[in-house]
């Protein structure tokens, strides 16, 4: 069994068992685009952890002293006196100095291996992994189990408990003894019907009794505005021991730490529609693997069995490094589990969600690898039938692995295992003929490849060539290849992955430079006086010379922005070509998109920078893409802001002067 000193065990706890704000931001570190992005995400993760620890300390102080005034959590909260020991008790040791250093609170040289430094700092607070965030519901609790699992626990609440903690109240609970700390008013919970996951928001700013709450841990930082409500309290949950057991873990076949199989099970990391997925280590040789089960907690066969039977038989036909195939392993006492390679960097869907649009070079490379894997799949007379970003995983070296043959079909026995009219697959990635109930084919897999490529290039799902051709974000060089994948008539698509490969390899992966501009305080003093900043005309000419696309991200509406620029054009400060070229990005500063998330530009983050006079609106995970400029508000002051900004832009994009 893994020991407390085992780094693999600690990394599992941090990524899959820590409270969601910390686990999600740590997970995002693995999806960094380059070294600079890695460093910024490590600093961001440290700040998330510091704020969460500060929130717990402040809540402990507020729970013991009604005179204390709530405020946005930070490291300063540890100066608040406590009337009783904190919960969890390990909080008494304070915030690790390494976290404070990465968060910028302490000065110090930046470590060369910043991810290992962050990991070492988070190891010192992984006592939080023993706790669960449980959201009160009318029928019990909704438990947040790491970054990606939520499940209900049903129980009957006493009326006095619901009166004190109404539905929606998040609690931090220790399932081993039932102790809890309510997290309101510093943390609030929101659930949308359109998402399988709820959102946990942490107080960031406060004006009177109205707070701005940020969903910590997610790139882009979604926010909500709400009045502070609820009072922190701590105590012991008035529930039966069985309820605490379910708060500890959902009903699954293997609990954390199980060892009655040929593995040491670290724990559950995903619950799919057909299976549970665990991280484990083989007892025989210590190999790190993924273990999948389909039998449920009692080890009984159910209707999912046939999918796993097909996944094993069809997946194991394929011998290719880009394809992950499960191996059936008998378990003592009856039943089987399926073992497969551990791919712990994340999925293509994670990468797109975290970074938005990918570079043309990255998208092309992933598509080449995917086609190479599918060539082996199809060569084994198998159709994958569920090609989508969730089923494409990454190794640390950037190579991909295609997973999940649960609904794959054999080309050899197509007529025997397919019922006409049956629709299987993920609808938005399915070829038109599959939606009509036709059997899957090699060409329907290639249609899915086209959908995946288009999504990498524009950040959203596009399911027809017409839509792809109309998209501004997709580079024109990719359109001939996409036409060969996304043709509505399957006869017009590439006949095989082998023939599609040369077509994608021949696509030039151009890197397009883009720049994003604020208006008020950056280019002009404000939207009413519209005083141009000194050097504005030359600066805009400079941008049009060096950048393929120019975005404007401002509090002004699209109409107000156009009016400002047309006024400046009439006075000779803005070239006509700029008015024709700039692209407006909507920004509702006081709504849920308070932060200027560059992913909304739908271009690769690496190729974009934002020029803005306010750091407050830049998401923490994107500060390294920000080019600061002093606020312009005094027309009579000597101002060289745009001249300095031009030099910073040249440096950021490694462009030559002149």
Provide Rg for the chain, Cα atoms: 27
Three-state secondary-structure class, residue 393: strand
* CA 443/CA 446 separation, integer angstroms: 5
- Say how many domains are in the chain: 4
Residue 390 pLDDT > 70: yes
CA distance 646 to 639: 14
**Could you identify the residue written with the tokens 């999948």?**
292
Domain that holds residue 328: 277-340
- The tokens for 160 are 């006095």
If pLDDT is split at 50, 70 and 90, which confidence band does 69 have?
confident
HSE toward the beta carbon, residue 480, CA cutoff 13 A: 10
Is the pLDDT assigned to residue 2 strictly greater than 50? Answer: no
Q: Examine the domain organization and report whether 351 and 468 are in the same domain.
A: yes
Per residue, the 3-state secondary structure of 147-195, as one string, reads CCEEEEEECCCCHHHHHHCCCCCEEEEECCCCEEEECCCCEEEEECCCC
Q: What is the pLDDT of residues 136-150, one digit of tens each?
A: 999 999 999 988 899
User: Do residues 492 and 534 share a domain?
Assistant: no
The pLDDT-based confidence of 611 (bands split at 50, 70, 90) is: very high
Lowest-pLDDT range of 12-26, 102-116, 301-315, 572-586: 301-315
Residue 169 has pLDDT above 70, yes or no: yes
| pLDDT single digits (tens) 100-120 | 999 999 987 889 899 999 999
In order of 85, 256, 380, 428, 448, the CA distances from 392 in angstroms are: 47, 26, 19, 16, 12
Lowest mean pLDDT among 41-55, 300-314, 613-627: 300-314
Contact in structure between 653 and 609 (CB atoms under 8 Å): yes
* 298 has pLDDT over 80: no
Query: Ranked by mean pLDDT, which of 98-112, 253-267, 536-550 comes out on top?
Result: 536-550
In a domain, 269, yes or no: no
At which of 302, 322, 340 does a domain end?
340
Q: What is the predicted pLDDT for the residue at 195?
A: 67
Which CATH number fits the domain that encloses residue 593? 3.40.50.1000
- How far apart, in whole angstroms, are the C-alpha atoms of residue 244 and residue 155? 10
218 lies in a domain?
yes
* 299 in a structural domain: yes
Find where tokens 């990635």 sit. 429
Share of the chain above pLDDT 90, in %: 69
The band of 413, judged by pLDDT with boundaries at 50, 70 and 90, is low
pLDDT in tens, 595-604: 899 999 999 9
**209: in domain:** yes
In a domain, 365, yes or no: yes
Average pLDDT, the chain: 90
Query: For residues 501, 505, 508 and 513, what is the CA-based torsion angle, rounded to 10 degrees?
Result: 90
pLDDT band at 303 (very low <50, low <70, confident <90, very high): low
The answer to whether position 266 is within a domain reads no
Q: How much is the pLDDT for 392?
A: 96
| 398, two tokens | 């950037």
Q: Is residue 421 scored above 50 in pLDDT?
A: no
Q: Which of 454, 476, 505 is the last residue of a domain?
A: 505
Residue 591: per-residue pLDDT: 54
Sign of CA dihedral 343, 347, 350, 355: positive
pLDDT in tens, 219-235: 877 888 899 988 899 99
Tell me 524's DSSP state: B
Looking at the structure, tell me whether residues 499 and 526 fall in a common domain: no
Count of alpha carbons within 13 angstroms of residue 594, beta-carbon side: 20
Residues forming a β-bridge with 235: 180
Both 455 and 569 in one domain: the answer is no
332 and 366 fall within a common domain: no
DSSP state of 197: S
Look at residue 427 in the predicted model and tell me its pLDDT: 85
pLDDT tens sequence across 198-256: 889 999 999 888 998 999 888 877 888 899 988 899 999 999 889 999 999 998 888 89
- 243/145 same-domain check: yes
Retrieve residue 564's tokens: 């400002």
Residue 371 has pLDDT above 60, yes or no: yes
Q: Do 351 and 330 lie in a common domain?
A: no
Q: What is the pLDDT of residue 129?
A: 96
Residue finishing a domain among 435, 470, 505: 505
For residue 347, name the pLDDT band (cuts at 50, 70, 90).
very high
Decide if 59 contacts 186 (C-beta within 8 A).
yes
Length of the chain measured in residues:
658
């Amino acid at each position: 069994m893994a020991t407390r000193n085992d780094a693999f065990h600690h990394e599992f706890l941090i990524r899959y068992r820590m409270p969601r704000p910390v686990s999600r931001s740590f997970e995002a570190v693995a999806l960094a685009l380059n070294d600079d992005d890695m460093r910024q995400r490590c600093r961001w993760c440290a700040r998330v952890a510091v704020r969460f620890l500060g929130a717990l300390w402040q809540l402990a102080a507020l729970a013991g002293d009604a005179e204390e005034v709530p405020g946005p959590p930070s490291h300063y909260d540890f100066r608040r006196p406590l009337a009783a020991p904190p919960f969890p008790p390990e909080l008494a040791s304070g915030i690790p100095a390494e976290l404070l250093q990465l968060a910028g609170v302490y000065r110090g040289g930046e470590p060369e291996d910043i991810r290992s430094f962050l990991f070492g700092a988070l190891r010192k607070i992984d006592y939080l992994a023993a706790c669960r965030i449980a959201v009160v519901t009318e029928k019990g609790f909704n438990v947040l189990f790491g970054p990606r699992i939520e499940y209900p626990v049903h129980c009957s609440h006493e009326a006095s408990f619901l009166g004190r903690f109404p539905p929606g109240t998040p609690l931090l609970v220790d399932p081993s003894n039932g102790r809890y700390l309510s997290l309101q008013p510093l943390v609030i919970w929101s659930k949308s019907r359109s998402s399988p996951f709820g959102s946990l928001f942490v107080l960031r700013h406060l004006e009177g009794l109205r707070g701005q709450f940020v969903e910590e841990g997610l790139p882009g930082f979604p926010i909500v505005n709400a009045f502070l409500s609820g009072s922190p309290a701590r105590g012991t949950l008035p529930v039966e021991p069985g309820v605490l057991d379910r708060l500890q873990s959902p009903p699954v076949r293997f609990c954390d730490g199980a060892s009655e199989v040929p593995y040491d099970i670290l724990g559950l990391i995903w619950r799919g529609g057909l299976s549970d997925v665990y991280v484990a280590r083989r007892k025989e040789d210590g190999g790190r693997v993924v273990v999948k089960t389909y039998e449920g907690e009692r080890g009984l066969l159910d209707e999912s069995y046939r999918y796993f039977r097909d996944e094993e038989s069809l997946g194991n036909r394929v011998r290719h490094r880009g394809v992950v195939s499960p191996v059936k392993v008998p378990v003592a006492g009856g039943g089987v589990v399926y073992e497969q390679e551990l791919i712990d960097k994340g999925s293509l869907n994670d990468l797109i969600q975290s970074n938005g649009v990918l570079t043309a070079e990255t998208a092309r490379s992933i598509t080449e690898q995917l086609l190479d894997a599918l060539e082996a799949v199809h060569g084994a007379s198998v159709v994958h039938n569920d090609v989508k970003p969730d089923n494409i995983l990454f190794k640390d070296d950037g190579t991909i692995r295609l997973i999940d043959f649960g609904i794959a079909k054999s080309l050899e026995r197509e007529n025997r295992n397919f019922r006409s009219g049956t629709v299987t697959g993920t609808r938005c990635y399915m070829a038109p003929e599959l939606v009509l109930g036709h059997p899957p084919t090699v060409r329907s897999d290639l249609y899915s490849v086209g959908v995946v490529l288009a999504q990498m290039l524009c950040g959203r799902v596009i399911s027809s060539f017409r839509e792809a051709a109309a998209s501004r974000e997709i580079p024109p060089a990719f359109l001939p290849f996409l036409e060969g994948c996304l043709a509505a008539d399957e006869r017009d698509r590439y006949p095989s992955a082998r023939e599609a490969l040369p077509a994608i390899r021949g696509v030039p992966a151009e890197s397009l430079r883009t720049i994003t501009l604020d208006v008020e305080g950056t280019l002009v003093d404000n939207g009413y006086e519209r005083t141009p900043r000194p050097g504005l005309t030359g600066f805009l000419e400079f941008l049009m010379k060096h950048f393929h696309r120019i975005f404007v991200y401002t509090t002004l509406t699209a109409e107000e922005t156009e009016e400002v620029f047309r006024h400046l054009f009439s006075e000779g400060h803005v070239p006509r070509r700029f008015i024709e070229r700039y692209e407006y990005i909507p920004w509702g500063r006081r709504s849920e998109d308070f932060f200027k998330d560059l992913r909304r530009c739908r271009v690769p983050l690496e190729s974009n920078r934002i020029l803005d006079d306010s750091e407050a609106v830049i998401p923490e995970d994107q500060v390294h893409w920000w080019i600061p400029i002093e606020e312009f508000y005094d027309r009579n002051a000597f101002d060289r802001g745009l001249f300095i900004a031009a030099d910073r832009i040249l440096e950021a994009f490694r462009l030559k002067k002149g």
